[in-house]
Structure 1
Amino acid sequence: MSKDDKPATHASGAPWRNFYGRFKGKALKPSQQRYLDEDLAALSPGPVGWDENPDRTPLDLDARFGDRDVWLEIGFGGGEHLIHQAQAHPGVAIIGAEPFINGVAMLLGKIRRAGVENLSVHPGDVRDLFDVLPRASISRAFLLYPDPWPKKRHHRRRFVTPEHLEPLARVMKPGAILRVATDIPDYVRQTLEEVPRQGFDWLAERPSDWRAPWDDWISTRYEKKALREGRVPHYLTFRRQ
């Protein structure tokens, strides 16, 4: 199929979108494949088949989570921060979205070992999840050490672009908190330019507000790698207007 013949939607009904990351890495261990086979469907943020609904009907989060606040982590990597937040905030429901299936399998193993029951997992592009999340339904969102796409010609692939931020703003409640962590100075620049344009206020009054990690922070493997290589983490907090 040529580029011009590319379909407008997937078979599921989701719009066709370019995706520049990886969906799968090295072969999964048998235990990881078992986690996917046995646990993933039950941890979906919606009913069976929601992601194949051609009408893209909004998810019923009240039916899935009750009256709990719903948080969202965008690209959870190996899932250590997601598990930490679930343990620290058992009264909150947290959805993790991650297209890299190896990371999803890692998280499922950690969920089993931790025994947390307030997590849901979307093993795919968060933009497809944005399509079906109700407006003003998310109370907190995390974007932690996203792919920096360091070459200038690739900056449009970063998450902090209107393609991603506009639907994120739509699904976040007024007053909801967005946390962004990165060790890339130019990513900080772009974040501070683009996020406020979508109706967010940067909650920083002094240097310690972006130099010091959040009180309930746990250092991820990506941050530890950045520190080993001499890069400085930045912790940016925004509030939805």
Structure 2
Amino acid sequence: MEAPEIRLPQKRFYRQRAHSNPISDHSIEYPINPDELDQDIGTNHPSWKELYPEIGDKKVEFGDFGCGYGGFLISLSETYPDKISIGMEIRVKVSDYVKDRIETLRIIHPGKYQNVACLRSNSMKYMVNYFHKAQLSKMFFLFPDPHFKKSKHKWRIINPSLLSEYAYVLKKEGLLYVVTDVQDLYDWMVSHLSAHPSFERLKDDEEKSDILHDKLLNSSEEAQKVERNQGSKFLAIFKRL
């Protein structure tokens, strides 16, 4: 008797509203400090070794914050098989989908996708609880919630009150990537990042030559949705000084 075919999870069973208030109190378990994640077994949260059984002495280097359904995260894993990537997503069902997707990919492709995992968390509140100073070399903020109302601009994941935290966990010469289909949000993110003393935008030719340039614009589910709707996509890459 043949074993049943293993299939990837279907997004229609993990649907959730598109917006989440990052300021409100969510039921999220998080480490007190990054050292807790280096233990063999986590307490109120999984350790890195539980998330990445083959991590060895490596450290998480890439972070996709607000990773959505994980399209870009999976592409990142394939592009950099020797680097450890984490996706963080605040929505319960969406993060569950990404976790199940990665688990299934590991079964279908033995030995692959051991370098990628997903956590449900609020990176706007708990970023420094997860990462040591200068731990990350790449940070991705792709198609973040635009929070159009001026009164809600403080909810935007790229905002002046958080950029110093991002600079803290990003190593020197590390890169911070932003992509959006909203011109107003793009101008907002670029203006605040440009004004911060720890960040400097790459030149246009440097951005276009980045190995991830096309994947940033095309591999995530949100990017594909924008493409189907014939919308515009705006990208900027900033270097940690």
TM-score by length of 2: 0.70
Higher relative contact order (CA 8 A, sep 6+): 2
* Residues matched between the structures, number: 195
Partners of 1:206 and 1:145 lie apart in 2 by 22
1:81 aligns with 2:72: yes
Deviations 1:107-158 (A, max 9, x none): 1221123221112332110131323411110010110000011122221211
Q: Which residue of 1 aligns with 2:117?
A: 120
Contact kept, 8 Å, 1:139 with 1:172, in 2: the verdict is yes
Q: Which residue identity does 1:86 align to in structure 2? A: S
Partners of 1:139 and 1:50 lie apart in 2 by 27
Going from structure 1 to structure 2, the CA distance change for 1:65 and 1:164 (only over 3 Å counts) comes to farther
- Alignment counterpart, residue 187 of structure 1, candidates 163, 185, 188: 185
TM-score by length of 1: 0.70
Partners of 1:172 and 1:91 lie apart in 2 by 19
Q: Which residue of 2 aligns with 1:228?
A: 228
Deviations 1:40-65 (A, max 9, x none): xxxx955412659xxxxxxxxxx965
- Equivalent positions of 1:1-241 (< 5 A) are 19-20=22-23, 46=38, 47-49=41-43, 66-67=57-58, 70-115=61-106, 116-126=113-123, 127-196=125-194, 197-205=196-204, 209=208, 214-217=213-216, 218-241=218-241
Deviations 1:69-115 (A, max 9, x none): 61111010001111111122110001111111111111122112322
**Alpha-carbon shift at residue 165 of structure 1 (Å):** 1.7
Partners of 2:235 and 2:37 lie apart in 1 by 28
Q: Which residue identity does 1:49 align to in structure 2? A: T
Q: Which residue identity does 2:238 align to in structure 1? A: F
225-234 or 160-169, larger mean C-alpha shift = 225-234
**Alpha-carbon shift at residue 225 of structure 1 (Å):** 2.2
Going from structure 1 to structure 2, the CA distance change for 1:222 and 1:198 (only over 3 Å counts) comes to farther
**Alpha-carbon shift at residue 209 of structure 1 (Å):** 4.2
Going from structure 1 to structure 2, the CA distance change for 1:209 and 1:84 (only over 3 Å counts) comes to closer
CA RMSD of aligned residues (A): 3.2
Contact kept, 8 Å, 1:68 with 1:91, in 2: the verdict is no
Contact kept, 8 Å, 1:165 with 1:198, in 2: the verdict is no
Q: Which residue identity does 2:95 align to in structure 1? A: V
184-193 or 125-134, larger mean C-alpha shift = 125-134
Percent identical: 21
